[in-house]
Each structure stands twice: as C-alpha cells, then as structure tokens.
Amino acid sequence: MDALTSLFAGFETALTPLNLLWALIGVTLGTLVGVLPGIGPALTVALLLPVTAKLPAVSAFIMFAGIYYGGMFGGSTTSILLNTPGESASIITALEGNKMARKGRAAAALATAAIGSFVAGTIGTLLLTFAAPAIAEIAVQIPPTAKFALILLAFVTISATFGGSPLRGLISLAFGLGIGLVGTDLQSGQARFTLGFPELLDGIDFVTVVIGLFAIGETLFVATRLRKDKGNVIKLQGNASMTREDWRRSWKPWLRGTALGFPFGAIPAGGAEIPTFLSYTLEKKLSKHPEEFGQGAIEGVAGPEAANNASAAGVLVPLLTLGLPTSATAAILLAAFQQYGLQPGPLLFLTNGDLVWGLIASLYIGNFMLLLLNLPLAPVWAKLLNIPRPFLYAGILVFSTVGVYSLNNSVFDLVLLAIFGVIGYGMRRFDFPVTPAIIGVILGPTAENFFRTAMQQSGGDYSVFVTQPSSAFILVIVVLALVLPPVLRARGKRAA
C-alpha cells in the first residue's frame, strides 16, 4: 500500500488553501478555454508557461492539471450547444449532443457529458495512482502494426456506422484522407499537394477543417434555407437535466467509454480520437434504440465523452512514469516540467515524489471541482441557445475565426476556413456525411505513418502484420466486422 501512503501525503500537499485556489483557477480557466473552439488546453498551458515561471512548481502543476481536465470538460460544451467541436476528441460528442440540444435537451446532454467525464476521469486517475508503471511498460511494447490494425478497425466500423449511403460516405472519407495528405511527408521530407504554398507545408490543421465543415458549412446552409415560421429560439424543456431514464441509459456507456479511452491514452500516438469513434459505434451496436442515433441518442454523448476524459487520464501514465508525451498537451506539460529543471521519468517519483503525488491528488480534487462547477452550469450554458438566431450564428462565426486565426496568426488559414465552409455547405446540399471526412483528416496521416514505420522497422517484410500476435488478433476482428454483419443479415432473412 505504498501508493496509498504517498497519495495521502499528496492530498496534504494539494489541500492547502493556496493550492486549492490554484486548482480552482486552473479548472475555471480550463473550462473557459475548452468552451472556445480551437483554443485547447495545450495552447493555454503553453501561453501560461512564462507567467507561471515564478510560482512554486507544485502550485503550477496543480493549476496545469486543472486546465488539462477543465479543457476536456469545456470542450464538450461548444460541441453540444453550437455544433462547433474545438478539439478532435469532442467531434463525436457534437453528433448526438447537438441533436439533443436542438430538441431542447441541452441540459441533459451537458449533464451526461459532465458526469461521464467525472466518472471516467476519476477511474482513470485511480488507475494512474495504482497501476501506472505496469501499464506504461505494456503500452510501449505495442508495435506499429497493431496500431495500424486498430485504425483499420476504426475505419471499418465507422464506415458501417455512417453508412446511410455507403458510396457518399466513402467519397467523404476519401476526400478527408486526401486533405490529410497535404503537407511535408514525415517519412521522406517531400512536399505533397502543397500547390506551392509554404503555408501548406505543415499540412492543414484539423481545427480549420472541422470548424469549416461543421460550423461555417452549417451557418451557410441554414442561412439559405432559414425556417421563418417557427419562433426564433429553441425551446428548452424546462430546467430538467437528466431523467431517471437518462441515468439508466448513461451509466453503462460511461463505464465502457472509460474502458476504451484509458488504454488508448496510454499508448504512444494512441490519442483520444480512436476511442471516441469506437465508443460511438459500440454504443450504437449495443443500444436498444439504434434508431435514435443521429437524432440525439444520449448514449452517443455519454460513451464518447467518458472515452475522451479517460484517455486524458491515460495520457498522464506514460508522461509521468516514462517522460513520454503521447499527445500535444502532454508535450507541453513535458516542456513545463523542463522549465522547472525536472525530467519526468522513472526517477521523478523518487526525486520529486511530493510534487508527483501532489499533482495526482489534485487530479481527484480538480475532477470533483469540475463536476461541482459544470452540473449547475449546464442549464445556464444551455440558455445560450435562447440567443436569437442571427446573433447566435454570428457569434459562432466570430469565435471560430479567433480559434482558427490564433493557430498560426495567419489570414491564410481564414481563407482556408472559408473554402472548407463552402465545401461543408456543398456536402450538406448534396447529402454527403461530414463525419467520415473529418475522421479521414485525423486518422489518415496516423494510419499512413504507422504502416510505413512498421515496414521500415521490419525491412519491408509485409508478413509482420499477421505474425505479430497483437496485430493479427485485431485484424481478425476487422475481418469479422466486415464479414459478420452481412452473414447475420442473410441468416436473419432466411429465418424470417
């Protein structure tokens, strides 16, 4: 029970009034920037680094932990209310969450996201407390072949999920994959599809694509076909947040989402996207109301949000135990450690135990604070939708502009945003689903890198995909996911 003693000592550090105040500032700030599209926890911590240089290390990290979790909580708010996901991890939340909000159930969607985030964050932190070193050991052993197979699994299950018209879904996916190729090829250093623009050498940031296709595309589309008869605002169904039925439908997705999200966070380059996508498909498969998916199913918010937050906790496992950043925010946190002359890794627990355990303790506290902060705020946030349409859509556009502009401080990105807005309009007009394109942009480059890394490491031996047990196992699941549904359908027809 070594961990337990250290954890109590950590709580002693974290529970001093001053550190509690820093935690509160952190979670508040994190929630606020999470709400803004495009400005995520990574940028916030990076911008705050110089400001915090004069704070004691423990206080600074307690605040950063608050920003980190707070950003995850806040990210879901804009997705649900405004259909403007600012982080790749909250894209899936927008799908069902925004539909719920438009039906007047915004408060319930926000509540299930907040509670799911709390549950996942707390379970994730527990795992971090008691099993971190062991998990980290396993996580680095996962070969690129297995990671490639995992993305393949995500592609296959997703194209089945958004298969209203498989042809249009595939075109959307191919388009996204193509956008993902733009920029300098990591493996060979050659420019691809940059059309001679140096601004495109780093590729197109997914934030630009997501906000363009989702927020700007929708604004253009709605403007051309505005519903005039009905009142100008969405009616909220009272203040009622979650009903008993909502709770019953949410708790299992929370747990399943956590189980999916945490390990992906711990895997290098695992990320929060794949588990949110997988969680969504899984919940749709398991749901008793699959017909509600796409119309505002609460499971589709609860599962992915839990997966998102659990992966945020998972990311801290390799960061603290191995000094291995597995996400953009983790890389910035690593820079923060270095600012204090600290090197995360196996020795950090020995050399700076009080700091690490204070940080871990503050994760529990921060999570709890976030729940207290977000549950009462859910109905307040939901009132945002009472803003008359012209002012609401104008506000969405302005916030999108800030988010995209601040990526590179460049007007070029705003022109790109406008182009993707027009494409987003066209996709709505001609019935192409937007989500596969986004998934292509995010996962395409990762898939290519894993594949080519695997080939480079094996010296060009393609058989590694089936000889490595973990990747072979996942590839079998991929094949089953492809073959089983048609077979089952055929048998079902015969039985009927």
- Output Rg (C-alpha) for the chain, integer angstroms: 22
Among positions 126, 134, 140, 490, the unique one binding other proteins when judged by CB under 8 A: 140
**Cα–Cα distance, 180 to 193 (Å, whole number):** 10
Nearest distance from C-beta of residue 119 to other proteins, angstroms: 28
- Return the residues of window 59-88 that contact other proteins according to CB under 8 A: none
43 is an interface residue for other proteins by CB under 8 A: yes
Q: What is the DSSP letter of 191?
A: E
Q: Which stretch binds other proteins (CB under 8 A): 18-26, 285-293, 373-381, 417-425?
A: 417-425
- Return the residues of window 3-42 that contact other proteins according to CB under 8 A: 33, 39, 42
414 is an interface residue for other proteins by CB under 8 A: yes
255 is an interface residue for other proteins by CB under 8 A: no
Among positions 255, 425, 439, 465, the unique one binding other proteins when judged by CB under 8 A: 425
**Cα–Cα distance, 401 to 86 (Å, whole number):** 12
Among positions 2, 17, 188, 492, the unique one binding other proteins when judged by CB under 8 A: 188
1 is an interface residue for other proteins by CB under 8 A: no
Among positions 141, 463, 493, 494, the unique one binding other proteins when judged by CB under 8 A: 141
* CA–CA distances in Å: residue 90 to residues 38, 179, 226, 385, 435: 11, 20, 27, 19, 12
Q: Which stretch binds other proteins (CB under 8 A): 297-305, 357-365, 446-454, 470-478?
A: 446-454
Among positions 2, 17, 50, 494, the unique one binding other proteins when judged by CB under 8 A: 50
* CB of 92 or CB of 434, closer to other proteins: 434
* CB of 12 or CB of 187, closer to other proteins: 187
Long-range contacts of 224-230 (CB under 8 A, 24+ apart): 224/425, 226/389
Q: What is the DSSP letter of 88?
A: G
β-pair partners for 192: 183
Among positions 45, 107, 317, 442, the unique one binding other proteins when judged by CB under 8 A: 45
Residue type for 488, please?
Answer: L
Q: Which stretch binds other proteins (CB under 8 A): 18-26, 221-229, 355-363, 487-495?
A: 221-229
* CB of 285 or CB of 338, closer to other proteins: 338
Find all residues with CB under 8 Å of 222, minimum gap 6, and list them.
393
* CB of 153 or CB of 427, closer to other proteins: 427
- Return the residues of window 266-325 that contact other proteins according to CB under 8 A: 268-269, 318, 322-325
Among positions 64, 175, 381, 465, the unique one binding other proteins when judged by CB under 8 A: 175
Q: If DSSP states are collapsed to H, E and C, what string results for 92-143?
A: HHHHHHHHHHHHHHHHHHHHHHHHHHHHHHHHHHHHHHHHHHHHHHHHHHCC
* CB of 253 or CB of 403, closer to other proteins: 403
How many residues sit close enough to other proteins to count as binding (CB under 8 A)? Answer: 123
- Return the residues of window 469-488 that contact other proteins according to CB under 8 A: none
429 is an interface residue for other proteins by CB under 8 A: yes
Residue type for 272, please?
Answer: A
**Cα–Cα distance, 67 to 214 (Å, whole number):** 26
Which helix H or strand E contains 183, and what residues bound it?
strand 183-184
The count of residues in the chain is 496
**Cα–Cα distance, 416 to 408 (Å, whole number):** 12
Per residue in 454-493, is it b (16+ CB within 10 Å) or e — as a string?
bbeebeeeeebbeebeebeebbebbeeeeeeeeeeeeeee
* CB of 364 or CB of 451, closer to other proteins: 451
Find all residues with CB under 8 Å of 363, minimum gap 6, and list them.
65, 69, 121, 125, 128, 313, 316
Nearest distance from C-beta of residue 399 to other proteins, angstroms: 7
- Return the residues of window 321-380 that contact other proteins according to CB under 8 A: 322-326, 330-332, 334-335, 338-341, 343-348
Q: Which stretch binds other proteins (CB under 8 A): 9-17, 62-70, 125-133, 213-221?
A: 213-221
- Return the residues of window 373-412 that contact other proteins according to CB under 8 A: 388-391, 393-395, 397-399, 401-402, 405-406, 408-411
236 is an interface residue for other proteins by CB under 8 A: no
Q: Which of 258, 363, 273, 267 is nearest to 322 (CA)?
A: 267
**Cα–Cα distance, 294 to 290 (Å, whole number):** 9
**Cα–Cα distance, 334 to 136 (Å, whole number):** 16
Nearest distance from C-beta of residue 251 to other proteins, angstroms: 28
134 is an interface residue for other proteins by CB under 8 A: no
Nearest distance from C-beta of residue 36 to other proteins, angstroms: 9
Among positions 87, 246, 283, 448, the unique one binding other proteins when judged by CB under 8 A: 448
* CB of 249 or CB of 428, closer to other proteins: 428
**Cα–Cα distance, 357 to 11 (Å, whole number):** 8
Q: Which stretch binds other proteins (CB under 8 A): 72-80, 87-95, 98-106, 280-288?
A: 98-106
Residue 241 CA, distance from chain mean position: 23
Pull the structure tokens for residue 89: 């991890």
